[in-house]
Chain A
Amino acid sequence: MHSIDIISTVLMAGGAFFMLTGALGLLRLPDFYTRLHATGKCDTLGEVLIIVGCMVYQGWSFITIKLFFLMLFIFIANPVATHAIMKAAYVTGVKPWKKGDERM
């Protein structure tokens, strides 16, 4: 195996591990606001790592430029969508969770 294959496999495995943690956080955390913390941060970085792994595997080609634009768009758009839906929940009146309450 070439060394480029090993580097890109390590990057993609790291990205898949972070995505798994993000989905696990959706199941485990007790409140809507804390669940958005897990998905908004872990999903973005996991996806950036997987796409960087694909870019490293491809070399210098036409598809690399398209993958770079996809990565830039995801990196900017995901936190904005997280903030928009958190603002909608706060203005409409969803109650936050304090330590010692039950799950909701």
Chain B
Amino acid sequence: MIETFLVIGMIIVFTMLLCLYRAALGPGVYNRIAATSVIGTKAVVLLVAIGYIFERPMFVDIALLYAMLNFIGTLLMAKYLVRGEVCTA
């Protein structure tokens, strides 16, 4: 069963390389933000797969934390691009 997780992990790494092309090329800043958010979402699944390959079940906690950080980062970038500042202080 370990080989299945290894194959799934390699497919996800290949998908991340495809998204990196759009992050480097995409004209304007919005394409790049969308590509970075997609790479972050795939990183969460990659962490769960690596946790099963090395047989350490603690990687699920790190995956939960990174999912929250990625979500907040995307919302913050959207708010900054609309207003020009993050908090009015």
Contacts and interface: CB of A to CB of B under 8 A. Distances in A.
Interface of A: 5, 9, 12-13, 16, 19-20, 22-24, 26-27, 32, 35-36, 39, 43, 47, 50-51, 54, 57, 63, 66-67, 69-70, 73-74, 77-78, 80-81, 84-85, 87-89, 91-92, 94, 104
Contacts of B1: 5, 57
B75 A84 contact: yes
A54 B41 contact: no
Contacts of A12: 4, 8
Interface centre among B16, B22, B33, B60 (most CB of A within 10 A): B60
A51 B82 contact: no
Interface of B: 1, 4, 8, 11-12, 15-16, 18-19, 21-22, 27-28, 30-31, 33-35, 37-38, 41-42, 44-45, 48-49, 52, 57, 60-61, 63-64, 67-68, 71, 74-75, 77-79, 81-82
Contact of A20 (B11, B49, B71, B79): B11
Given A5-B1, A77-B71, A80-B71, 5 more contacts: A16-B8, A20-B11, A26-B38, A63-B57, A73-B68
Contacts, number: 112
A47 B12 contact: no
27 contacts: A16-B8, A19-B42, A19-B45, A26-B19, A26-B35, A32-B28, A32-B31, A39-B37, A47-B45, A50-B8, A50-B49, A54-B48, A57-B1, A63-B57, A66-B60, A66-B61, A67-B48, A67-B60, A70-B63, A74-B41, A77-B67, A81-B71, A81-B75, A84-B79, A85-B30, A87-B78, A92-B82
A51 B48 contact: yes
